[in-house]
């Protein structure tokens, strides 16, 4: 009976995380961690490690799918990733010096609000207008925005995928598919770094739960990424908004009702 419960929990956790990753570049940790902690009684640190490990393959395969469809900005993605990683460490260090700064619900509320935003005010930027920005200006924007995203994520401890999607679409003016493709590309590397550090510090995770979460997250992320790359801008905005809003509401329910 316990094995069946574990499979069911991992299936729904992986489905939510995979859909969020494939559609919106959302971090799997926002979905998988609360599910494993709440329904399987797993220690938080181990749950986050498993969630990050699940994010690695799902984000990498999603990034490949977006890249194959020419919806990925690798050059500026690498620039932003470097500044995100550096300032995540800086934000984490400063956060450790300041008491009571943890905002555990930040990414959950952000997921819900961002979902509503995509439904009410969709991103209709075209690739032509996106590419009108000069390469030099885009690199500077990527560095500055990466610093901001990294510091906030390190200081608060959450919200990386959602922060990147918001910044890429609202500040840098990316077309939605390219924003998601670039976001999952960056998340594959940041999730790998986080997973390795979690397992190095906290020890090996539950192998069965890890494999189930990685498999289901990868499966649903691939389904979502393939659908997203074939959908029109209007359909993708609506689908992304609904997925994020439902996931945000579901995670809030898990956190506060169970």
Residue by residue, DSSP assigns 245-257 as HHHHHHHHHHHHH
Residue 179: give the domain boundaries.
2-257
pLDDT tens column, 176-195? 999 999 999 998 888 888 88
Look at residue 102 in the predicted model and tell me its pLDDT.
47
Look at residue 179 in the predicted model and tell me its pLDDT.
92
Residues above pLDDT 70, as percent of the chain: 90
Where do we find the tokens 């905005």? 237
Domains in the chain: how many in total?
1
The token pair that represents 91 in the structure block: 């934000």
Look at residue 157 in the predicted model and tell me its pLDDT.
55
In order of 56, 68, 93, 208, 214, the CA distances from 211 in angstroms are 13, 27, 32, 5, 5
Average pLDDT of the segment spanning 197-213: 87
- Mean pLDDT score of the chain, rounded to an integer? 85
Average pLDDT of the segment spanning 225-246: 90
Which has more pLDDT, 61 or 123?
61
Q: Does the pLDDT of residue 101 top 50, yes or no?
A: no
Look at residue 99 in the predicted model and tell me its pLDDT.
57
Non-local CB neighbours of 89 within 8 Å, separated by 6+ positions: 150, 154
Look at residue 190 in the predicted model and tell me its pLDDT.
84
Average pLDDT of the segment spanning 242-257: 81
As a whole number of angstroms, the distance between CA 220 and CA 109 comes to: 23
Average pLDDT of the segment spanning 219-245: 91
**Model confidence at 103, in pLDDT bands (50, 70, 90)?**
very low
Which has more pLDDT, 167 or 217?
217
**Model confidence at 132, in pLDDT bands (50, 70, 90)?**
confident
As a whole number of angstroms, the distance between CA 213 and CA 175 comes to: 30
* Residue 124 CB coordination number (10 Å): 11
Q: CA nearest 171: which of 136, 134, 132, 130?
A: 130
Q: Does the pLDDT of residue 148 top 70, yes or no?
A: yes
Q: Does the pLDDT of residue 33 top 60, yes or no?
A: yes
């Amino acid at each position: 009976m316990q094995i069946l419960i574990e499979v069911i929990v991992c299936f729904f956790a992986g489905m939510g995380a995979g859909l969020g990753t494939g559609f919106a570049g959302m971090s799997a940790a926002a979905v998988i961690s609360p599910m494993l902690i709440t329904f399987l009684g797993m220690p938080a640190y181990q749950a986050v490690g498993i969630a990050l490990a699940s994010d690695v393959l799902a984000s990498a395969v999603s990034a490949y799918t977006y890249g194959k469809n020419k919806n990925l900005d690798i050059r500026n993605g690498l620039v932003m990733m470097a500044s995100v990683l550096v300032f995540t460490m800086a934000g984490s260090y400063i956060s450790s010096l300041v008491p009571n700064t943890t905002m555990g619900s930040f990414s959950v509320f952000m997921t819900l609000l961002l979902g509503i935003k995509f439904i009410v005010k969709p991103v209709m930027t075209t690739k032509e207008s996106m590419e009108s920005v000069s390469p030099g200006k885009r690199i500077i924007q990527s560095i500055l925005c990466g610093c901001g995203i990294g510091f906030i994520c390190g200081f608060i401890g959450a919200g990386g995928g959602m922060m990147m999607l918001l910044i890429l679409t609202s500040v840098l003016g990316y077309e939605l598919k390219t924003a998601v493709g670039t976001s999952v590309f960056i998340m594959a590397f940041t999730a790998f770094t986080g997973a390795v550090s979690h397992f190095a510090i906290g020890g090996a995770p539950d192998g069965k739960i890890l494999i189930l979460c990685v498999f289901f997250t990868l499966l649903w992320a691939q389904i979502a990424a393939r659908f997203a790359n074939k959908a029109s801008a209007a359909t993708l905005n609506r689908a992304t908004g609904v997925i994020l809003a439902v996931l945000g509401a579901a995670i809030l329910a898990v956190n506060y009702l169970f």
